[in-house]
Structure 1
């Protein structure tokens, strides 16, 4: 069986939004065990991947942090029409590595008790855009903007907070919600009513169109085991 699998095994070049890198690592192990196919994963900001794909980067599959980018890539001929689907609904949290720093209502944002708030670049990262929407909804955009530390991606925003370079920051719930473990530090799970729904879509790119392994990965993402992993990291579906 193993020999039969490896004889037809392929490698899938995957571009994945930084917030989904952790869940994908777990899914990849199960996928490889089930199919023999392996993944070559690059994690980063969705906007950056869009620019790379348009410039000819040889990715087979994109796991975006939004639904707009896959639609755009299809419209522009860089992705396969009809292959896109929503694999997760992202959840935004305001997080601090310090216990007790962030309250459960997010009132700390208006308190003036912090010098730096980390946020992913709103022009490149949907979670950064969502963070800005929250500040605007709370009427705090002008007051907080001078304190913003802009990161290239959501993973860099997380690093700024984790290392203490920013006291708090807007990150993805999946980055702090490790399955089976309590969330460290302190956090406010931002009500979805304060930001636009973060629909995260996957899409088959033109480079992966003739690769059975790429199609197999997208099919596996819809399976019950994969969905269970995605939910365990705090995503909606």
Structure 2
């Protein structure tokens, strides 16, 4: 066999091995983390050779889907209690759960200068519709109801609430003008230290319970190298820089 042939065969073997080692990971992702994960994915795929396939939605809905056998292998939730519950129910790889981000809630309007920096627009009560995510399915929606309660505005705003199934839908209500303002994830309207559109009040953390967002490897991903690689990549410096650029802390 000639040297050229041996070299060609070695190259083909290496290429085939590389493809054999590359895996795909199915990820359930809290809606608030859509933009950050879309920014993280190319770097993850380049660094590991694995492919990331993500579905975005409300944490509570994903919990139900996972319990009903959905093919997700990694879960990036919008809270810490849902992954912990799955852990207690034996649905996860032991020891894989960790906090990948701590979220920030914002009151946002698509209109520039509509919302003041202290959120007094809420108490002024001159708006017709206030968008929030479903508090039973979306942790950011639950946090929004806690803010309204702390401010003594639960009753005053009850008839004005426009409820989305996820934080993405709450954002859409405001962005399309169907609600003058709404509670959204800061990551949806913020990047690299700047508000990307409209006007907003960053809600003080003491007005609601901390939005600790945990990730966990689910049982379906326990033997998938791509699932473990994604979790490790999320802990690394490249992912951390992107996460923080969208207004999260760690």
Normalised to the residue count of structure 2, the TM-score between the two structures is 0.92
Look up the match of 2:83.
70
Out of 140, 151, 165, which is 1:127 matched to?
140
Runs (5+) with no aligned partner, structure 2: 1-10
Q: CA deviation at 1:181?
A: 5.4
Instruction: State the alpha-carbon separation in 2 of the partners of residues 217 and 232 from structure 1.
Output: 19
1:157 aligns with 2:170: yes
Alignment of 1:37-52 (within 5 A): 37-52=50-65
Look up the match of 1:174.
187
Look up the match of 2:27.
14
Decide which structure has the larger Cα Rg and report it: 2
Runs (5+) with no aligned partner, structure 1: none
Out of 111, 120, 127, which is 1:114 matched to?
127
Normalised to the residue count of structure 1, the TM-score between the two structures is 0.97
Q: CA deviation at 1:180?
A: 6.9
Whether the 8 Å CA contact 1:5–1:35 is kept in 2: the answer is: no
Q: For 1:215, what is the secondary structure of its paired residue?
A: helix
Look up the match of 2:227.
214
Aligned CA-pair RMSD: 1.3
Count of aligned pairs: 237
Q: CA deviation at 1:133?
A: 0.5
Instruction: State the alpha-carbon separation in 2 of the partners of residues 41 and 25 from structure 1.
Output: 9
In structure 2, the CA distance between the partners of 1:188 and 1:182, relative to structure 1 (3 Å rule), is: closer
Whether the 8 Å CA contact 2:193–2:247 is kept in 1: the answer is: no
Alpha-carbon deviations, 1:92-122, whole Å to 9, x = none? Answer: 0000000111111111111121000000000
Instruction: State the alpha-carbon separation in 2 of the partners of residues 87 and 54 from structure 1.
Output: 22
Instruction: State the alpha-carbon separation in 2 of the partners of residues 158 and 182 from structure 1.
Output: 14
Look up the match of 2:6.
none
